[in-house]
Amino acid sequence: MHKSKKPSGGKTKERMTEPIQGFSKLSKQEKISWIVSRYTQDPERAAQLLSAYWNEDPKLQQLHDEFIENTITNQYMPLGIAPNFLINGNLYAIPMAIEESSVVAAASKAAKFWLDRGGFTAEVLGTEKVGQVHFFFAGGTAKLQTFIDQIRPKFLEDTLGITESMSKRGGGIKDIALRDLTDRLPGYYQLHCTFETKDAMGANFINSCLEQFAETLKRESAGYVGFNEEERAIEVVMSILSNYVPNCMVRASVSCPISELDISETVSPLAFAQKMVRAVNIAQASPYRAVTHNKGIMNGVDAVVLATGNDFRAVEAAAHAYAAKDGRYGSLTHAKIQDGQFTFWIELPLALGTVGGLTKLHPLVKLNLEILQHPSAEELMQIVAVAGLAQNFAAVSSLVTTGIQKGHMKMHLLNILNQLEATEAEKALLIAHFKTNTVTHRGAINALESLRKNNGASVL
């Protein structure tokens, strides 16, 4: 048995715990009983909270339960709508799933601003996905290249059963190339493979092809007369897709005459444009600023990716790798002033799907894709890139004019008041008060305490 104590910050309670065998085989109720009795201070309250988040529809709850393993409840995330996005002449209302205050409001504000200035332009620059077979070979590169060239038809032949359906949709295997990385790791090579997966994100398809490539590689090398015994013993370490997709790219942009950048009463349109360019240049020059700059972009990107049932962790990883492609981490967005015109744009790697996975299972994901007018994968790439660009424009424009905290804290006010357990009447009075006063956490506490000392009378 193991003794454990609750971390500092709550009641100290010594518990006797021991590892559990067969947790996954327990019913959901048994899992809940086990976890709350051993790891919570008030098991009854914890169990009630977990069950309160179950869906009332048993079939719908079962669907959610089966998405992952060891499910005990649902953890909700707010789903909002950012309207008025004009993209390539089409008007969208974009679903965004996110917990952070001011993101949806900022995206909506940017969408409305650019709606009157021609909207957003977006284009897909490429849709190539990547996967690799990682292996070690004892011989030379030239000999290995000759072998790979000879068995290339075998790779394609052995995967016909996997690629048949994808090929009918216009996708499939694009290329299989040998990459020599022995300068980084002795004996290390890759089969660097590229794919077209059309409207599917394609992870399962790609990984199935790669695992077959690995089997073909081992089988064919074992009997290859051009290798000696040591060379025939190719060691395949792993076969897996890469989430870095620098040739699966989308570009989104906005542009207007500088004179139309009447975004602030305190900053002239020209000064605003110059500050925006300077701000982006700073994010290119300073990784410390670039990380926060790009995080703001991903606020918009991730929210739409999550709402449409795609893998936001893969998108995040690819975006940040791309931001460092030149050897130093920098901004994902760009800005320029040329011939009296201000242009702001983003180029982003995005591997997304609109068929398969959660897109056919999660009811809200299906509804969100319907709200977006059933986009193809390429159309969704454009929508997501625009959401990221809009979010960045809103954040940077606030930073170079009024500062970001004024608007963010006003949006955060309700969260503060809910933490303080303010009543609906108190919320109404305090929201009115802070329309003309700066919001801070301490200021909200003081205002609420003042209100309560006066029995709800508005003396603020």
- Please give the positions annotated as active site: 100, 295, 311, 408
E strand or H helix that includes residue 252:
strand 249-257
Q: Among residues 307, 298, 318, which one has the least CA distance to residue 359?
A: 307
d(CA 49, CA 54): 9
Q: 5 in helix, strand or coil? A: strand
Buried b (16+ CB within 10 A) or exposed e, 189-226: bbbbbbbbbbbbbbbebbebbbbbbbebbbebbeebee
Q: Helix crossing, 441-453 with 404-419: angle to 10°?
A: 50
Number of helices and strands in the chain (H, E): 16, 12
Cα 350 to chain centroid distance, Å, stands at 10
Q: Which two tokens stand for residue 229?
A: 């015994």
Q: Read off φ and ψ for residue 227, nearest 5 degrees.
A: -105, 150
Q: Which two tokens stand for residue 302?
A: 């991730």
Q: Among residues 352, 368, 284, which one has the least CA distance to residue 318?
A: 352
Q: Helix crossing, 103-115 with 287-307: angle to 10°?
A: 90
Residues 434/425, Cβ–Cβ less than 8 Å: no
Q: Among residues 168, 190, 170, which one has the least CA distance to residue 180?
A: 190
Q: Which two tokens stand for residue 48?
A: 């009630």
Q: Where are the beta strands (DSSP E) in 258-351?
A: 333-338, 341-349
How many CB atoms within 10 Å of residue 79? 16
Distances 231 to 137, 182, 218, 433 between C-alpha atoms, Å: 6, 15, 11, 77
d(CA 440, CA 442): 5
